[in-house]
Amino acid sequence: MERERTRVLLVEDNPGDARLVREALNDGAPGEFSVEVADSLQRALESLGPAVEAVDVVLLDLSLPDSQGLETYRAIHARDPAVPVLVLSGLNDESVGLKAVNEGAQDFLRKGRVDSELLPRAIRYAIERHGMVEQLRQLAVADELTGLMNRRGFLMLAEHQRSLADRKGTSLSVIFIDVDRFKSINDRFGHEEGDRALKELAGLLLRTFRRSDVVARLGGDEFIVLMADINDDGVPIVLDRVRKNLEAFNQENGFPWRLSISLGVALYDAAHPVTLEALMASADQSMYQAKARSKLAS
């Protein structure tokens, strides 16, 4: 029995670029992909939705005759949120491509680097990641209080990301977050205010981290974040942003309590793999060391 082909909707108005994509897929995975080309946003939208044959993945050029930039991705996503999108970007579109990823696109690829090895693999990963996210949405993985992922959801998605990092040879970072003196908020102001503090922190974390990062509440006053594709130099920048946003929150809000947190970080190197449990334990230990140093300093 012949295997069903992966149906690709290529949204690209440049015939030369469209030809290169077709050739890369045919050379890299003969017979695996079926490619339909739409040379405008309008034609792409007509190829998506419940009334037409399902598309497995969209390869999207953001610069089209009838749409430019991030609005191109938003229109495609609004038309069919269930289909994964890979953004194809030129040099002038890289920053917009990253913004599209932050809004939910699976990845962005530079047109000049699309080849017969990279493109089929990127499509497979995009479909796999998107399927995992959709599966998670259908499970009971949301924390009831904050709306973040709960422990179960985090473990499932983080393990998937760790496996992808192993296959791609990329890095991961786990940030463990604990609220300082949380019991005193409950004791002084009541559990309703304690719950409010946790919800406010959850919102702050969502505003601080990228949309592609996995932010979760493990339980109680413990939170965790998994960041993919970030190197050692990028982590201090992220931690500084968390602290600055927290400082601004405490200065601007009118609550009777102040939020204070301790942070611990563990880096995952695909060249020296460890289990997800070991990575989380390392981040947890780092957090407790930071908390102990803070107590000594005060």
Chain segment 210-234, per-residue pLDDT in tens: 877 899 999 999 999 999 877 777 8
Contact 145, 196 (CB under 8 A): no
Helix-then-strand count for the chain, H and E:
10, 9
Contact 86, 123 (CB under 8 A): yes
Side chain identity at 217, as an amino acid letter?
R
Burial label for 17, CB within 10 Å (0-12, 13-18, 19+), is middle
213 is catalytic: no
Q: Average pLDDT of the chain?
A: 89
What does DSSP say about strands 171-179 and 222-228: parallel, antiparallel, or unpaired? antiparallel
Angle subtended at Cα 44 by Cα 42 and Cα 48, rounded to the nearest 5 degrees: 115
pTM flag (> 0.75)? no
pLDDT at residue 246, rounded to an integer? 96
- Residue 230, C-beta contacts closer than 8 angstroms, at least 6 positions apart: 171, 172, 173, 238
Only one residue has tokens 């965790």, namely 224
Instruction: Please tell me whether residue 282 adopts helix, strand or coil conformation.
Output: helix
Domain boundaries, the chain: 6-134, 141-297
Residues 272-289 have a mean pLDDT of 93
User: Which one of 93, 221, 229, 284 is the catalytic residue?
Assistant: 221
Residues 5-12 have a mean pLDDT of 94
**CA distance from start to end of the chain:** 70
pLDDT at residue 131, rounded to an integer? 86
Read off the tokens for 188: 């002084």
Helix/strand/coil (H/E/C) assignment for every residue in 21-42: HHHHHHHHCCCCEEEEEECCHH
Higher-confidence position of 288 and 294: 288
Residues 241-269 have a mean pLDDT of 93
Residues 31-47 have a mean pLDDT of 94
Contact 44, 9 (CB under 8 A): yes
The partner residues of 38 in beta bridges, in order of sequence, read 11
pLDDT in tens, 150-194: 999 899 889 888 888 888 888 899 999 999 999 999 999 999 999
Confidence of residue 1 (pLDDT cuts 50, 70, 90): very low
Read off the tokens for 28: 């890299």
Contact 255, 234 (CB under 8 A): no
Angle subtended at Cα 289 by Cα 286 and Cα 293, rounded to the nearest 5 degrees: 140
Only one residue has tokens 């995009």, namely 126
Instruction: Say yes or no to pLDDT of 84 above 50.
Output: yes
Distance CA 171, CA 173 (A): 7
Confidence of residue 297 (pLDDT cuts 50, 70, 90): low
- Domain 6-134 is classified in which CATH homologous superfamily? Response regulator (3.40.50.2300)
Higher-confidence position of 69 and 102: 69
pLDDT at residue 47, rounded to an integer? 93
The partner residues of 225 in beta bridges, in order of sequence, read 175, 215
Which CATH number does 141-297 carry?
Answer: 3.30.70.270
